[in-house]
Amino acid sequence: MPTTIRTVETPVRPLPAASQLQLPSKPVSDRMRTTVTAAAMRETIAEWLEEAGPLGPKALRDLATAAHVPYDVVRGMTRREATGTVPAGLAARLLWAMGEPLRPDLRQALAEDLAVEASAA
């Protein structure tokens, strides 16, 4: 009897090229950037995992991989003890990978993060 292997796709999307981000024509100043709280990020991840259903644990690992963020960092963000603010680049990476729309300031932060990652490679 032949064995069939089924792969299960989790709902993540890979990071974009900077050209795909539709950056604002005028860069967002530091004063205009808003912060992302750990509580808001935790809630967003929890909702996303709820939608993933039984794939939750695998989805969280896939999210970390797609966003190029260590798994322990992503897992730590799901804990109630996570407080304070999340760096804009990290928040943008995770939100993008979850398929969430990004505000202009977060698109710019993601572009900056990707540029730093590319120059380090």
Q: What pLDDT does 110 receive?
A: 92
Q: Which of the four pLDDT bands, split at 50, 70 and 90, describes residue 7?
A: very low
Residue 49 Cα distances to 37, 77, 105, 118, 120, angstroms = 18, 13, 25, 29, 31
Rounded to the nearest integer, the mean pLDDT of the chain is 83
Q: Which stretches of 1-121 are assigned E, i.e. beta strand? A: 36-37, 85-86
Q: Does the structure show a pLDDT above 90 at 95?
A: yes
Sign, Cα dihedral of 33, 27, 88, 47:
positive
Whether this model's pTM surpasses 0.85: no
pLDDT in tens, 77-88: 998 888 899 999
Q: Does the structure show a pLDDT above 80 at 2?
A: no
